[in-house]
Amino acid sequence: MQAFLQPTTEHESVIDLLRHRSEALAQRSAELKRLADAWQPLFQTLDEAQKLRLRILAVYALREMRDELESRQMQYFDDEDSGF
C-alpha cells in the first residue's frame, strides 16, 4: 500500500491522480448515458412484467460491473504492494 502512496514519476502528483480519476468517471458516465439512451425506445415498448425483468437485469449488470471494478482495484493494490 505504501508504494501506492508514492508518486511513480517525478511529475505524478495527487492532482494528476484526481484528474485521471475524474476523466475515467466522466467517460463511464457518458457510456452509461449512451446505454440508457439506447434502451429507452425498447423500454417504452415493454409491458410491466418485461419492464420489471429489465430493471432486474440492469441492477444485476451494474453490480457485476461494480464487482469487476473492485476486483481490478484490489489486484492493482496487490501488484503495487508486491513491487510490480
State the pTM of this model.
0.57
* Cell of residue 49, nine digits: 412484467
**Segment 67-80, tens digit of pLDDT:** 888 888 777 766 66
Measured distance CA(35)–CA(25) in Å, rounded: 15
Q: Do residues 31 and 51 share a domain? A: no
Residue 30 one-letter amino acid: A
* DSSP assigned state of 12: -
Name which of 62, 84, 77 is nearest 2 in CA terms: 77
**Segment 1-43, tens digit of pLDDT:** 455 555 556 566 888 888 888 998 899 899 989 999 999 999 9
Q: Do residues 40 and 62 share a domain? A: no
Name which of 58, 23, 62, 20 is nearest 42 in CA terms: 58
* Cell of residue 41, nine digits: 425506445
Q: Do residues 37 and 51 share a domain? A: no
Domain of 63, in residue numbers: 47-84
